[in-house]
Structure 1
Amino acid sequence: MFPTFSLWLSFLIAFNFFQNTFTSTLGTETDNLALLKFKESISNDPYGILASWNSSTHFCKWYGITCSPMHQRVAELNLEGYQLHGLISPHVGNLSFLRNLNLAHNSFFGKIPQKLGQLFRLQELVLIDNSLTGEIPTNLTSCSNLEFLYLTGNHLIGKIPIGISSLQKLQVLEISKNNLTGRIPTFIGNLSWLAILSVGDNLLEGDIPREICSLKNLTIMSVFLNRLSNTLPSSCLYNMSSLTFISAAFNNFNGSLPPNMFNTLSNLQYLAIGGNQFSGTIPISISNASSLFNLDLDQNNLVGQVPSLGKLHDLRRLNLELNSLGNNSTKDLEFLKSLTNCSKLLVFSISFNNFGGNLPNSIGNLSTQLRQLHLGCNMISGKIPEELGNLIGLTLLSMELNNFEGIIPTTFGKFEKMQLLVLQGNKFSGEIPPIIGNLSQLYHLSVGDNMLEGNIPSSIGNCKKLQYLDLAQNNLRGTIPLEVFSLSSLSNLLNLSRNSLSGSLPREVGMLKSINKLDVSENLLSGDIPRAIGECIRLEYLFLQGNSFNGTIPSSLASVKSLQYLDLSRNRLYGPIPNVLQNISVLEHLNVSFNMLEGEVPTEGVFGNVSKLAVTGNNKLCGGISTLRLRPCPVKGIKPAKHQKIRIIAGIVSAVSILLTATIILTIYKMRKRNKKQYSDLLNIDPLAKVSYQDLHQGTDGFSARNLVGSGSFGSVYKGNLESEDKVVAVKVMNLQKKGAHKSFIAECNALKNIRHRNLVKILTCCSSTDYKGQEFKALVFEYMNNGSLEQWLHPRSVNVENQRTLDLDQRLNIAVDIAFVLHYLHLECEQSIIHCDLKPSNVLLDDDMVAHVSDFGIARLVSVIDDTSHRETSTIGIKGTIGYAPPEYGMGSEVSTYGDMYSFGMLLLEILTGRRPVDEMFDNGQNLRIFVEISLPNNLIHILDPNLVPRNIEATIEDGNSGNFTPNVEKCVVSLFRIGLACSVESPKERMNIVDVIRDLSIIKNAYLAGKYDRYL
């Protein structure tokens, strides 16, 4: 038996050897084929790293391949960061021994292959920063040994698949920066080994599930930039002592932060919850989080005093900006003393809060490592402590828009590393200290809108890296030092406007070859405009108005091909307008008003559009396009004698015309028996040149229905074409049968004749005459707006959805800003404040560039101040606006006020965002547009937002891998706009948001939206 058993055993060993050899050979062939198929799917290999993948060497020696020593099978495929472009071949799923697949930082596109689910030995899958689309493959959950899953930075859609709950060994789940939707699933709590959860920058919504608190090993939780809402699960989340990193910024979380929040978070190093709606105070327990190095609480609704932070010895970044912290009291900044213990602090911001009082001397005891200090937009007062100069590590210091006074300390000369210094909008006095020249690294200096005096120090020429210099609106005098023009680094701005600078603009200005904007307006400068200014080849904006420049306009300006805006008005320039200026193709605005220019006005380029050109106040100019209404230029070659005859004939014709006109006026007077009051009213509109009834009748084809643009309370508006204006115009014909129409006509003339603003509809002329039937006729002629009214865009009449015009968010935001600027101008900038009284979409017109222009001042009120008492010149008794837009107090007999316009603006803003009228038929049982918005914010934003601003079909959007334009950044912008609308339309007039704050907040929202500010939270 023994020999037989031995023989059998030998046979088994041999068979097993040959079987393993055969299996191994078959396996290596499978791996080889899989890798070659992977190579075939690569369409671009810029570094040529796959060149080694050929039959001349074994695949275990190919670049990026690591094989297992025993089986010679592929265990690792690592091609990270080589900019490979192509698809991920499904044949990768045949690499059955693969443990690590790393294709991060390439340009792979298409879907993640389902066959990757066959890799049951896979432990690490890294596909970060590619362009992969589709959903996370469900088969991937079959990789039961997977420990690390990195899918961040792709275009993945759909929900987080439930199958991930089967990956019991998973330690890292990073799927941020995709377009994932749905909720954070509750099964996350089953992944007991999970240490890192990163799902930020997606479209996730709902709560953070309480089950997350079961993850005892969780150290990093990142959910930033989603649509998550309600409160954080504080009862358990803040008890997770393992947490070192929490990023929940830019969601819709609300509620207050629990007082004991930081009692158990002793290991927490990073906390970023900015850009939410947290309220209440900063918990005192924060001092227990002694390991914190980053604390971002910005852009919330936090109030009260900042607690002591002195125990946070490792703190490097502290951001509290854009809250409501502080009470404008002397105690607001006491916490700064505790920060002197934070010796590692690098960045500190309290901008845009309510901090008051003086800046304490202890500010100079902050960390010498401090790089950025943001104090702007508060109510801090008093002098700047000299001790601030001790912070020699500062590269950025912003203190703008406070109430600082006194001199700029000479200790600022220690800021040798300073790059950006912003002090504008305070009450600084004295001179700009010469030590400013010590700041050799400075690239941005802004000290405008203060009370600084004296000369501009020549030492500023030492700031060789300066790109932005703003010294505007001070009391600076003397000449502009040549050292300023030696700063060839100046590329963004040189603004010296609204000072008392004298002397000439030297020819050295031509050294600023990279300057984009140059503003020396409203000074006492004189002499010629130097020809060398034509050497500023990148100049786009040039403001020289309000000085005493003389001489001629240099033709060298035509060399500045990038010039878009040129203002030379209110100087003493003479001679002709150079014809070569019409060759600047990008020139959008030219103002040469109120000089002594003469000769023929060119007709091409900017001179061919009267809306872009201003030549008023130059009595010797002639010609130009007909809409300028300048006198014709003399015909060359006519002899003096002939001129004399022409003058005689012209005199006779003029005399006859005067007699004939007088006869007509007398006849009309007798027929109509007008009273004195009518004539005294008409005297108010004399500055407007008038057209005849015949002109208007012909220009509108007899006021035909096909030219009817719209109608309102006191008249109808027709589209017309006047020969005298040589352009398409809008003619508002008053319905004089309607009571109050006559007063409306006078009011609108008086309101519009002396006001000018880019966002007001420009009145061209008027008509006060009789029609062909001898009936009284009054009309106003305005610029015609090709894009119609905002009403037509928000509420199109077309039933054909495909042909309907819609407004995107950019346009709506710009329109809101345009309207706000008009109200600011009417209420605060006019010599006599004007209350519009009827702000609504039909009174907002849009030009070719979709710029908004406010119209219809038929019921406007002029407000004059006499002996400190406001008097309103009422245009139409009893008419105070339109239902839905007029404030509630008007219905109770209250006088019109700027508060009323703010209410109208608020309701208009809500309508712009929702696409619903204030009196929409859907509102019943006492509900209105304001209540509809208020009860829906912020959790039900899609319900209230205009459907044109929401992706047409969310499911379809998910399927095609496109999240649309409704990103979290957009959502943050929209919610902020809604809040402005609500704040403006509260019932109590004095509690409404004022126009100054509206302008400020709209500017912040617009800048943040355009700059993608929210993306800085990663």
Structure 2
Amino acid sequence: MFPTFSFWLSLLFTLNFVQNTITSTLGNKTDYLALLKFKESISNDPYGILASWNTSNHYCNWHGITCNPMHQRVTELDLDGFNLHGVISPHVGNLSFLTNLILAKNSFFGNIPHELGQLSRLQQLVLSNNSMTGEIPTNLTSCSDLEYLFLSGNHLIGKIPIRISSLHKLQLLELTNNNLTGRIQPSIGNISSLTIISMDMNHLEGDIPQEMCSLKHLTKITVFSNRLSGTFHSCFYNMSSLTYISVTLNKFNGSLPSNMFNTLSNLQCFYIASNQFSGTIPISIANASSLKELDLSDQNNLLGQVPSLGNLHDLQRLNLEFNNLGDNTTKDLEFLKTLTNCSKLTVISIAYNNFGGNLPNFVGNLSTQLSQLYVGGNQMSEKIPAELGNLIGLIHLSLEYNHFEGIIPTTFGKFERMQRLVLNGNRLSGMIPPIIGNLTHLFFFSVGDNMLEGNIPSSIGYCQKLQYLDLSQNILRGTIPIEVLSLSSLTNILNLSNNTLSGSLPREVGMLRNINELDISDNYLSGEIPRTIGECIVLEYLSLQGNSFNGTIPSTLASLKGLQYLDLSRNRLYGPIPNVLQSISVLEHLNVSFNMLEGEVPKEGVFGNISRLVVTGNDKLCGGISELHLQPCLAKDMKSAKHHIKLIVVIVSVASILLMVTIILTIYQMRKRNKKQLYDLPIIDPLARVSYKDLHQGTDGFSARNLVGLGSFGSVYKGNLASEDKVVAIKVLNLQKKGSHKSFVVECNALKNMRHRNLVKVLTCCSSTDYKGQEFKALVFEYMNNGNLEQWLHPGIMNAGIQRMLDLDQRLNIIVDIASVLHYLHHECEQAVIHCDLKPSNVLLDDDMVAHVSDFGIARLVSAIDNTSNKETSTIGIKGTVGYAPPEYGMGSEISTYGDMYSFGVLMLEMLTGRRPTDGMFEEGQNLHMFVGISFPNNIIQILDPHLVPRNEEEEIEEGNCGNFTPTVEKCLVSLFRIGLACSVKSPKERMNIVNVMRELGMIKKAFLSGGV
């Protein structure tokens, strides 16, 4: 009898059951053993996640394991984010039913096992944010069901496998933040299912292959921070599916087609920053109505006007900074009005472009959600609009390096959320408004390099979160408020340098316990350096130079164990250098030059390296390392004996002087009744006097070999004075020359109360008779080893055979030094002083090539009330020197500050061209101003001093090019020539004033330093 159909059906079912039972049993054992091997490869399990992986539980119940309920086979291994440390066991390849392998955010290292290519059912492979090395295994392309491949955040090397195109179901490809090289494979264009490609932060080269344009479902492509280049294929602009494009930090070039955004209606984010794109912003940008973020910034070269962006109603972030947008005209910022329609804007940056005109008032109508606004580094001028105060949601506001003038608007007091306010590098004037104290969330405040005046408001003390405070390079006066020094939040920098602050440094400076950098240099501070400064234990940079601090160097500085930079130069410090400074092991720079220090220089630590130490200008220092070339120190017993001898000499001298004074006063009173004064001159305030004998001995009888120059009213000698214990310059008046007596009085009275770091310091004077009974008058000044500026600008004539040369950096510093003196003379003295004879021979250079203005023999003091000259002046002939004296003086006009500005302008042009204003080439009414004006601004290289031109570029220079000059340096040169021309125009009232000159020079110097040669 034949078996029935039901029999065969029952038999088939039984055989199938037996087969499944055998497969399940074998599979269970295979998966179990594979998981145990995986666990054995884990060396560290900080959260104890694998504690459940034991025999008391079925492996399908282990943490992170999911099984197929029918066959009890492992389908998912998910241990995401548990910081497991170890390698991925190759036995994972035996989990043949596995569809999801998720091991992201751990510390797996070693290669990706090739055995993973055996997982034919695998759909998700997620190994992101580990430390995997080696290449992407080629046989991963055998996982034909793979949909998500996440390998980001590892250390993978090599190329993207060519066979990746075999993954026909792949939707997401994430390879970000590895070390992959080579090109993006064109075969990727065959994976039609792809929606996201992310290959950021690798070393990929070449272009984006055109084949990728066929990916009709692609929504996101990010390749930022690679080495990709070339242009975008136009087919990409037709991919309407794209919502996200990021190619930032590559080398893509070319222009953006005008119609490129017509079909990208779904685009939400477009990032092309830090490439080499050029041309204008496409006007079609208005059609990308879904845009939320637009970043065209950094190292591109986009130019022209910014089109209307008013249709981008969803726009949240706009970044156009560091391009060449705008034409420096009043229409440049009209596009900002269209942005008032974008109510979701939170960030706008148009910084460091070429936008001109004024910042319009309607900027106050921008989105109330705006939190960051950056417009620094442009050409904007006029006042900062008060309407900015309407943007009460602002957290960051940067207006630096423009030409804004006027006051800081009081409406800024509304910025209750403000954290970062940057206004430096403008032309702001007036006072720092007390409303700054309202900004209680402020952590960064910079108003340096302006013309702000008045006192530092104590209300800054309310900014209890302030970490960075820069008030430098202004005209701030008064004392340093204790409220500022009490800000324990100051951790980054406190910079009050280059102002006119006075008084002492309060002991409360010790409350800045967390400050990293403190700079109060170049002010008028006095008194002792407080010992409490040693409590600023985090301090790394301390600059106190250019003040009038006296007393000794506090030994508490040794408490600053992290101090790397210390500058105490150009003060009045005395006593020894503390030995304890040797213990600061990280100290890289110590400058104590030009003080009155004495005693032995230590030899350890910073004192043992000549390149890190400056002690010049302290004539009583001795010892130290041999490279300092200081005199050896005397033995202590010899010092003691010398001290006693000096004491005896002083006592005898004082007694003798008292006796002589009594006799002289008696004789003087007797003669006074009968003798009329020879000259009706103002009385010179008492100065420490020196005798003719001292001067005669100090100059070897005024020997010709000590003659160093000829002045307007006499001769200048180099000499040594025992009383000064230093080399000095002695100006001996030629009393036979008419006006010399008055010149002596004027110079004494001009210099007696003036104190500025760039003025030549008068040490003493002599009014006596010589050995022949003739009247003798002389002034004694600090001696400048580097002579005068004339000798450096024209070395061939003044110093035959001596090659002296000033580079552009030195010339710029000297120009700034001279301008600083004029600003002081015209605006900071109790009575304004007009120098009247500014020229290269009256500018002396010290050891550090710092300029010092000298020769006030024909200076004039001006009444601060009515701006008229008082009687303390020399009136001999035309004021000044031919070529440098302004033309109006030759026509009988009264002297004025305008005259000094003319001389300064001519001096600047001479320094830039290397030609004297009296050069023989200037004939028939021509002059240096006209000579420069003809070539300005396009051909300045033709008139530039040949010493400033790179020698290896002579052929290019002849063609009018700028040789090796960077664009920044070229702009600096143009700006310097412009100032020189503006100061030396014929009409006095049209000349640039010294306040604007100082502001412009400050900007030029910063640009020069940042642009570099």
TM range (shorter): 0.5 to 0.7
TM-score by length of 1: 0.68
Residue in 2 that maps onto 1:825: 809
Equivalent-residue separation in structure 1 for 2:788 and 2:106 (angstroms): 58
SS of residue matched to 2:340: helix
Equivalent-residue separation in structure 2 for 1:551 and 1:983 (angstroms): 47
Does residue 870 (structure 1) correspond to residue 869 (structure 2)? The answer is no
For each residue in 1:762-821, what CA deviation from the matched residue of structure 2 results, as whole angstroms up to 9, or x when unmatched?
xxxxxx9xxxxxxxxx999x9xxxxxxxxxxxxxxxxxxxxxxxxxxxxxxxxxxxx9xx
| Cα pair distance change 1:518/1:363, threshold 3 Å | same
For each residue in 1:205-244, what CA deviation from the matched residue of structure 2 results, as whole angstroms up to 9, or x when unmatched?
222121111111110011211222121012x111111100
For each residue in 1:426-478, what CA deviation from the matched residue of structure 2 results, as whole angstroms up to 9, or x when unmatched?
01111111110111111111001111111111111111111111101111111
For each residue in 1:712-761, what CA deviation from the matched residue of structure 2 results, as whole angstroms up to 9, or x when unmatched?
xxxxxxxxxxxxxxxxxxxxxxxxxxxxxxxxxxxxxx9994799xxxxx
For each residue in 1:347-405, what CA deviation from the matched residue of structure 2 results, as whole angstroms up to 9, or x when unmatched?
11111100010000111111111111111111111111111011111111111110001
Equivalent-residue separation in structure 2 for 1:456 and 1:103 (angstroms): 58
Q: Could you tell me how far 1:982 is from its partner in structure 2?
A: 7.7
Residue in 2 that maps onto 1:502: 502
| Cα pair distance change 1:402/1:754, threshold 3 Å | farther
Residue in 2 that maps onto 1:47: 47
Equivalent-residue separation in structure 2 for 1:831 and 1:474 (angstroms): 18
| Cα pair distance change 1:642/1:161, threshold 3 Å | closer
Equivalent-residue separation in structure 1 for 2:403 and 2:459 (angstroms): 27
Matched letter for residue 162 of structure 2 = I
Question: Contact 2:177 / 2:199 at 8 angstroms: preserved in 1?
Answer: yes
| Cα pair distance change 1:1005/1:635, threshold 3 Å | closer
What count of residue pairs does the alignment treat as equivalent? 751
Q: Could you tell me how far 1:615 is from its partner in structure 2?
A: 2.8
Alignment gaps of 5+ in structure 1: 649-658, 670-675, 678-682, 689-749, 757-767, 769-777, 783-818, 834-852, 855-862, 876-891, 908-917, 919-925, 935-977, 1007-1018
Residue in 1 that maps onto 2:239: 240
Residue in 1 that maps onto 2:899: none
Question: Contact 1:687 / 1:753 at 8 angstroms: preserved in 2?
Answer: no
Q: Could you tell me how far 1:640 is from its partner in structure 2?
A: 4.9
Equivalent-residue separation in structure 2 for 1:307 and 1:632 (angstroms): 74
Equivalent-residue separation in structure 2 for 1:9 and 1:613 (angstroms): 101
| Cα pair distance change 1:194/1:41, threshold 3 Å | same
Q: Could you tell me how far 1:998 is from its partner in structure 2?
A: 11
Residue in 2 that maps onto 1:143: 143
Residue in 1 that maps onto 2:456: 456
Residue in 1 that maps onto 2:829: none
Residue in 2 that maps onto 1:266: 265
Matched letter for residue 87 of structure 2 = L
For each residue in 1:559-610, what CA deviation from the matched residue of structure 2 results, as whole angstroms up to 9, or x when unmatched?
2222222222222222332222222222222222232333333333323333
Question: Contact 2:969 / 2:1008 at 8 angstroms: preserved in 1?
Answer: no
Equivalent-residue separation in structure 2 for 1:545 and 1:991 (angstroms): 29
Residue in 2 that maps onto 1:718: none
Question: Contact 2:420 / 2:443 at 8 angstroms: preserved in 1?
Answer: yes
Residue in 2 that maps onto 1:338: 338
For each residue in 1:938-966, what CA deviation from the matched residue of structure 2 results, as whole angstroms up to 9, or x when unmatched?
xxxxxxxxxxxxxxxxxxxxxxxxxxxxx
Q: Could you tell me how far 1:867 is from its partner in structure 2?
A: 6.3
| Cα pair distance change 1:502/1:868, threshold 3 Å | closer
Equivalent-residue separation in structure 2 for 1:352 and 1:405 (angstroms): 18
Equivalent-residue separation in structure 1 for 2:71 and 2:1009 (angstroms): 66
Residue in 2 that maps onto 1:587: 587
Q: Could you tell me how far 1:160 is from its partner in structure 2?
A: 1.6
Residue in 2 that maps onto 1:291: 290
Structure 1 or 2, whichever has the larger Rg, is 2
For each residue in 1:959-979, what CA deviation from the matched residue of structure 2 results, as whole angstroms up to 9, or x when unmatched?
xxxxxxxxxxxxxxxxxxx99
Matched letter for residue 296 of structure 1 = D
Equivalent-residue separation in structure 1 for 2:172 and 2:309 (angstroms): 33
Q: Could you tell me how far 1:172 is from its partner in structure 2?
A: 1.0
Question: Contact 2:260 / 2:282 at 8 angstroms: preserved in 1?
Answer: yes
Question: Contact 2:909 / 2:977 at 8 angstroms: preserved in 1?
Answer: no
Does residue 361 (structure 1) correspond to residue 361 (structure 2)? The answer is yes
Residue in 2 that maps onto 1:62: 62
Matched letter for residue 102 of structure 1 = I
Question: Contact 2:430 / 2:452 at 8 angstroms: preserved in 1?
Answer: yes
Q: Could you tell me how far 1:538 is from its partner in structure 2?
A: 1.1
1:21-100 matches, within 5 Å, as 21-100=21-100
Residue in 1 that maps onto 2:279: 280
Equivalent-residue separation in structure 2 for 1:594 and 1:564 (angstroms): 21
For each residue in 1:594-649, what CA deviation from the matched residue of structure 2 results, as whole angstroms up to 9, or x when unmatched?
3233333333332333333333333333333343333343333348599989x99x
Residue in 1 that maps onto 2:255: 256
| Cα pair distance change 1:1004/1:395, threshold 3 Å | farther
Residue in 2 that maps onto 1:183: 183
Equivalent-residue separation in structure 1 for 2:217 and 2:491 (angstroms): 52
Residue in 2 that maps onto 1:961: none
Equivalent-residue separation in structure 2 for 1:297 and 1:205 (angstroms): 21
Residue in 1 that maps onto 2:835: none
Question: Contact 2:969 / 2:1011 at 8 angstroms: preserved in 1?
Answer: no
SS of residue matched to 1:498: coil
| Cα pair distance change 1:311/1:902, threshold 3 Å | farther
Question: Contact 1:122 / 1:145 at 8 angstroms: preserved in 2?
Answer: yes
Question: Contact 1:899 / 1:990 at 8 angstroms: preserved in 2?
Answer: no
| Cα pair distance change 1:443/1:130, threshold 3 Å | same
Q: Could you tell me how far 1:547 is from its partner in structure 2?
A: 1.7
Residue in 2 that maps onto 1:623: 623
For each residue in 1:855-885, what CA deviation from the matched residue of structure 2 results, as whole angstroms up to 9, or x when unmatched?
xxxxxxxx9985665277799xxxxxxxxxx
| Cα pair distance change 1:71/1:632, threshold 3 Å | same
| Cα pair distance change 1:279/1:495, threshold 3 Å | same
Equivalent-residue separation in structure 1 for 2:398 and 2:427 (angstroms): 15
Matched letter for residue 292 of structure 1 = L
Equivalent-residue separation in structure 1 for 2:171 and 2:785 (angstroms): 69
Q: Could you tell me how far 1:19 is from its partner in structure 2?
A: 1.6
1:646-661 matches, within 5 Å, as none
| Cα pair distance change 1:125/1:438, threshold 3 Å | same
Question: Contact 1:903 / 1:984 at 8 angstroms: preserved in 2?
Answer: no
For each residue in 1:271-322, what CA deviation from the matched residue of structure 2 results, as whole angstroms up to 9, or x when unmatched?
0011111111111111111111110000211000111111111111100001
Question: Contact 1:402 / 1:426 at 8 angstroms: preserved in 2?
Answer: yes
Matched letter for residue 267 of structure 1 = N
| Cα pair distance change 1:74/1:580, threshold 3 Å | same
1:503-522 matches, within 5 Å, as 503-522=503-522
Equivalent-residue separation in structure 2 for 1:572 and 1:3 (angstroms): 122
Equivalent-residue separation in structure 2 for 1:25 and 1:107 (angstroms): 33
Does residue 389 (structure 1) correspond to residue 384 (structure 2)? The answer is no
Does residue 568 (structure 1) correspond to residue 568 (structure 2)? The answer is yes
| Cα pair distance change 1:365/1:22, threshold 3 Å | same
| Cα pair distance change 1:437/1:8, threshold 3 Å | same
Q: Could you tell me how far 1:991 is from its partner in structure 2?
A: 13
Matched letter for residue 609 of structure 1 = N
| Cα pair distance change 1:358/1:779, threshold 3 Å | closer
Alignment gaps of 5+ in structure 2: 650-696, 710-714, 721-782, 790-798, 818-847, 850-902, 917-938, 979-1000
Matched letter for residue 897 of structure 1 = L
Identity %: 65
Residue in 1 that maps onto 2:930: none
| Cα pair distance change 1:558/1:828, threshold 3 Å | same
Q: Could you tell me how far 1:491 is from its partner in structure 2?
A: 0.9
Question: Contact 1:358 / 1:383 at 8 angstroms: preserved in 2?
Answer: yes
Equivalent-residue separation in structure 2 for 1:431 and 1:489 (angstroms): 24
Question: Contact 1:832 / 1:864 at 8 angstroms: preserved in 2?
Answer: no
Larger RCO: Structure 1 or Structure 2 (Cα < 8 Å, ≥ 6 residues apart)? 1
Residue in 1 that maps onto 2:991: none
| Cα pair distance change 1:446/1:982, threshold 3 Å | closer
